[in-house]
Amino acid sequence: MKDKFYQYIQDLQDSITSKLEEIDGKAKFQQDIWKRPEGGGGRTRVIENGSVFEKGGVNISGVHGKLPKSMQAYFNVGDVDFFACGLSLVLHPKNPMVPTVHANWRYFEMYDEDGKIIDQWYGGGQDLTPYYLFEEDAKHFHQTCKTACDKHNSEFYSNYKKRCDEYFYNAHRNEGRGVGGLFFDYCKASADMSMEHWYNFVTEVGDSFLDAYVPIVEMRKDLQYTQANRDWQEIRRGRYVEFNLVHDKGTLFGLKTNGRIESILMSLPPHVQWVYDHHPEAGSVEEKLIEVLKNPKDWV
Digit-coded pLDDT (tens) for 171-213: 999 999 999 999 999 999 999 999 999 999 999 999 999 999 9
Q: Is residue 35 part of a domain?
A: yes
**AA identity, residue 32:** D
Distance (Å) of CA 229 to CA 192, 193, 284? 48, 46, 12
Question: Radius of gyration over alpha carbons of the chain, in Å?
Answer: 19
pLDDT of residue 261: 87
Q: What phi and psi values does residue 168 have, to the nearest 5 degrees?
A: -85, 65
Give domain status of residue 47, yes or no: yes
Please tell me the chain's helix, strand, coil percentages from 3-state DSSP, rounded to the nearest 5: 45, 25, 30
In the prediction, which pLDDT does 123 show? Answer: 97
- Note the pLDDT of residue 188: 97
pLDDT for 141: 98
Query: Does a structural domain hold residue 300?
Result: no
CA–CA dist 291, 121 (Å, integer): 35
Angle ∠(126,129,133) on CA atoms, nearest 5: 130
* Residue 52 lies inside a defined structural domain of this protein: yes
How many domains, the chain?
1
pLDDT at 166 over 90: yes
Task: Confirm if 101 and 126 have CB atoms less than 8 A apart.
Answer: yes
Q: Looking at residue 198, which CATH number applies to its domain?
A: 3.40.1500.10
Is 257 within the bounds of a domain? Answer: yes
On the question of pLDDT at 259 being above 80, the answer is no
Is 299 a member of any domain? no
| pLDDT at residue 266, as a whole number | 83
Average pLDDT, the chain: 95
Contact 172, 153 (CB under 8 A): no
Q: Is the dihedral of CA 86, 125, 73, 188 positive or negative?
A: negative
Rounded CA separation 120/176 (Å): 30
Active site positions, annotated? 102
Residue range of the domain that includes 252: 2-294
Residue 29 lies in a domain: yes
State the Cα–Cα distance between residues 29 and 290, nearest whole angstrom. Answer: 33
